[in-house]
């Protein structure tokens, strides 16, 4: 994977729904952009603060001339979406990463696909729906949202080639059209793959309903990160190659403290979603707080994402 940053131009900014804008990013010289696969995201380096936020690409991977983002203005977030909503305009140049994909659409792995979107979690699933439609695969896209007015891409979905595969579920539009997650997830035939993206409660409900599925058929991507660090406490890290013992205070991450000590672990998202910082653990009780590792990987306890995960007691890292 290349880490070279791209400079792109904001060719179009549009108000897609209440509180949601779309950005169309193109190469400033009009060249093709690096190809991407459905489910990919890019890191956007925010123009004012330089901090980094990840956004999924919602357009079809068959398009080579643009990357399309959908961004919810989220006053509860750590400011990334507000900065983009408030300051990014058409014609601006942005630094972005190359597309990366931690939410692969495994196209050949199933006979049919269920895509479940909650709110702005639609973005990677919209790209997947276009891809599945192009491939002629059987799929359903269920899109849950608070109200039609606050729902992005309604017109686009209703006029798409796969409109018949899309079902909307609006919280304010009557009980009969609400999504019964346990019933939908519980009645799928074998050889179905499930992809889900949305807020934590929605994801939890879907994953709970799919608890008896083969884990390899259930694919998820979190778009909001758990920022509840109330219960974080201090612990120690031992650098295995040198024996150095380093205290990690309750309000700092392992990567932050190690960097101060001159020990660099590569990071990207710093939110436990990209996997860049994955580090081997030789010994210790890991408090996994990431959204990247699978449950079996977490249980194995031999790797940590030190940008966000912590430990109880002392952790020996293979560094
Ligand atoms: S830097 Fe992305 S998971 Fe740690």
- 235-317 placed in CATH 3.10.20.30: yes
- 176 CA distance to ligand 1 middle (Å): 41
Q: How far apart are CA 162 and CA 141, in angstroms?
A: 9
Q: Using a 6 Å cutoff on CB, does residue 309 contact ligand 1?
A: no
Q: Where in the chain is the domain with CATH 2.40.30.10?
A: 6-96
Confidence of residue 224 (pLDDT cuts 50, 70, 90): low
The answer to whether 153 touches 178, Cβ cutoff 8 Å, is no
Our answer on whether the CB atom of 274 is closer than 6 Å to any ligand 1 atom is yes
- Kindly tell me the sign of the dihedral angle through the C-alpha atoms of 87, 88, 90, 94: positive
Residues 6+ apart with CB under 8 A from 201: none
Residue whose tokens read 């459905």: 38
Q: Token pair of 278, please? A: 């994955």
> Which ligand 1 atom sits closest to the C-alpha of 307?
4
Token output for 290: 């990431």
Residue 199, CA distances (Å) to 99, 131, 221, 278 in order: 22, 23, 10, 24
pLDDT score of 291: 77
- Strand, helix or coil at 275? coil
Cα-to-centroid distance, 292 and ligand 1 (Å): 8
User: Looking at domain 6-96, what is its CATH homologous superfamily?
Assistant: Translation factors (2.40.30.10)
| Contact 307 CB / ligand 1 (< 6 Å) | yes
For 299, phi and psi rounded to 5 degrees?
Answer: -65, -35
Average pLDDT score, the chain: 91
Is residue 57 scored above 70 in pLDDT? yes
Residue 277 Cβ contacting ligand 1 at under 6 Å: yes
Note the pLDDT tens digit of each residue in 72-110. 997 766 677 888 999 999 999 999 989 988 888 999 988
Instruction: Please write the tens of the pLDDT for every residue from 144-180.
Output: 999 999 999 999 999 999 999 999 999 999 999 999 9
> Which tokens is 98 given?
């190359």
Kindly state the average pLDDT of the residues 7-17: 97
For CATH 3.10.20.30, list the domain ranges present in the chain: 235-317
Q: How confident is the model at residue 251 (pLDDT cuts 50, 70, 90)?
A: confident
Token pair of 71, please?
Answer: 């961004």
**This prediction's pTM:** 0.76
Q: Decide: 268 in ligand 1 pocket, CB within 6 A.
A: yes
The answer to whether residue 1 scores a pLDDT higher than 50 is no
**If you count DSSP H runs as helices and E runs as strands, how many of each does the chain have, helices first?**
7, 16
For ligand 1, atom 3, the nearest C-alpha belongs to: 272
Which CATH architecture best describes the domain 112-222? 3-Layer(aba) Sandwich (3.40)
Is the confidence at residue 228, as pLDDT, over 90? no
**What was the pLDDT predicted at 227?**
46
In this model, does residue 226 exceed pLDDT 60?
no
């Amino acid at each position: 994977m290349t880490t070279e940053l791209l400079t792109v131009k904001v060719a179009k900014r549009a108000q897609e729904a209440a509180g949601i804008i779309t950005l169309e990013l193109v190469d400033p010289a009009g060249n093709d952009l690096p190809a991407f696969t459905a489910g990919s995201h890019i890191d956007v380096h925010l123009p004012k603060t330089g901090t980094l936020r990840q956004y999924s690409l919602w357009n079809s991977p068959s398009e080579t001339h643009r990357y399309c983002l959908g961004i919810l203005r989220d006053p509860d977030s750590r400011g990334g979406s507000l900065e983009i909503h408030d300051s990014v305009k058409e014609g601006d140049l942005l630094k972005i990463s190359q597309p990366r994909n931690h939410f692969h659409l495994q196209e050949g792995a199933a006979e049919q696909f269920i895509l479940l979107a909650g709110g702005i979690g639609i973005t990677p699933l919209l790209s997947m729906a276009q891809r599945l439609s192009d491939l002629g695969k059987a799929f359903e896209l269920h899109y849950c949202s608070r109200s039609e007015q606050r729902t992005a891409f309604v017109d686009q979905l209703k006029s798409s080639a796969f409109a018949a595969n899309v079902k909307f579920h609006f919280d304010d539009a009557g009980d009969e059209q609400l999504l019964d997650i346990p019933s939908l997830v519980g009645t799928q035939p074998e050889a179905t793959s499930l992809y889900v993206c949305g807020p934590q409660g929605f994801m939890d409900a879907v994953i709970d309903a799919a608890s008896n599925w083969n884990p390899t058929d259930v694919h998820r991507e979190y778009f909001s990160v758990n920022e509840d660090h109330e219960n974080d406490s201090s612990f120690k890290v031992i650098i295995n190659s040198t024996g150095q013992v380093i205290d990690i205070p309750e309000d700092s991450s392992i990567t932050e403290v190690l960097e101060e000590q001159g020990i660099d672990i590569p990071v990207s998202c710093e939110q436990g979603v990209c996997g860049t910082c994955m580090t081997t653990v030789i010994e210790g009780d890991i408090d996994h707080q990431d959204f990247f590792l699978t449950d079996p990987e977490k249980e194995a306890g031999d790797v940590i994402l030190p940008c966000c995960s912590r430990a109880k007691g002392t952790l020996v890292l293979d560094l």
